[in-house]
Amino acid sequence: MEDSKVDLRSTRSVQVGEGMVPISPQEQWAAPAFFSVYLIYLFWRQENELLHWVSLVALPTLLVLWLRREAGGSGLGSVLASFGLSRENLGRGWLVALGVGVVLGMVQLFLSRSGAASLDAFRTGRAVYLLPLAFVLLLFLAGFTEEFFFRGFLQTRLEALFNSKALSLVVTSFLFGLYHLPYAYFNPNWPSAGDWSAAWGASLGQGIPAGLIFGGLYLYTRKNLLVCVVLHALVDAFPAMALIRFGDSWH
């Protein structure tokens, strides 16, 4: 063990499925450091959904791959499994996710600015095709990218850092709300745009409860990341129906 580059006394394991995954101290500290740098960047430039695939998926994956190679090495499959993308863990929590997703999605209809337009889609029957389309789009956009980063990358590493599931859940949920702050202030599509007080309230008021729900499901399913992706996409799909545009008209 004298030649190891990792202080094994600081390496902690977190449960993923039925097994335990060791998280090195380098990974434990790299995750919050990455988030801090990324948040500063967001105040300079708010990304679109496609760029999230680089910043929230590709870069964290490459970072963990590099850190594990420095510490002795592991493959891409092992890294993805540490995020919660493990074939052995795909059967957990689906009914809970679907039930909670439908309930919260309906609540979103009354809380979002596009709620009236989305309700109109139900009244006119257009929700039959708009809702599945919005759900599929969100699966590959915010649903996957944000869950991959916040639950798969950040919450798992913070759990090892704090040696506490509960504390990692609370901190990650707060950071999830904080992540939305630049968008809440700078994005004109947010009703809080240009108002710092309203932006803080909107980002934390929505992000923290959502983070607690998504992160709680992540823990309940022993880190089945895909079920969190589905829940996230389902919750956002109901109000997102109003944002789908065909041709020159909004539907």
Concatenating the DSSP letter of every residue in the chain gives: -TT-SS-TTT-EEEEETTEEEEE-HHHHHHHHHHHHHHHHHHHH----HHHHIIIIIIHHHHHHHHHHHHTT---HHHHHHHHT--GGGTTSSHHHHHHHHHHHHHHHHHHSTTHHHHHHHHHHTTHHHHHHHHHHHHHHTHHHHHHIIIIIIIIHHHHHHHT-HHHHHHHHHHHHHHHTHHHHHH-TTSTTTT-HHHHHHHHHHHHHHHHHHHHHHHHHTTS-HHHHHHHHHHHHHHHHGGG-EETTEE-
Q: Output the average pLDDT for the chain.
A: 88
Please compute the mean of the pLDDT values over residues 170-192 and round it to a whole number: 95
Q: What is the per-residue pLDDT for 141?
A: 94
Distance CA 44, CA 177 (A): 18
Q: What is the per-residue pLDDT for 214?
A: 97
Q: What is the per-residue pLDDT for 234?
A: 93
Please compute the mean of the pLDDT values over residues 113-140 and round it to a whole number: 84
Q: What is the per-residue pLDDT for 128?
A: 86
pTM of the complete model: 0.90
pLDDT more than 90, % of the chain:
64
Please compute the mean of the pLDDT values over residues 198-207 and round it to a whole number: 95
Given a cut of 70, whether residue 227 has pLDDT beyond it is yes
Please compute the mean of the pLDDT values over residues 104-111 and round it to a whole number: 80
Q: What is the per-residue pLDDT for 115?
A: 65
pLDDT digit string (tens) for 228-238?
999 999 999 88
Please compute the mean of the pLDDT values over residues 26-40 and round it to a whole number: 97
Residue 8 binned pLDDT confidence (cut-offs 50, 70, 90): very low
pLDDT digit string (tens) for 35-86?
999 999 999 998 999 999 999 999 999 999 999 886 666 789 889 999 999 8
In this predicted model, which residue has the larger pLDDT, 213 or 10?
213
Residue 2 binned pLDDT confidence (cut-offs 50, 70, 90): very low
Given a cut of 80, whether residue 26 has pLDDT beyond it is yes
- Distances, alpha carbon 243 to alpha carbons 36, 134, 177, 246, in Å: 31, 9, 22, 10
Distance CA 203, CA 192 (A): 9
Given a cut of 50, whether residue 250 has pLDDT beyond it is no
Distance CA 138, CA 50 (A): 11
Residue 151 near residue 228 (C-beta atoms within 8 A): yes
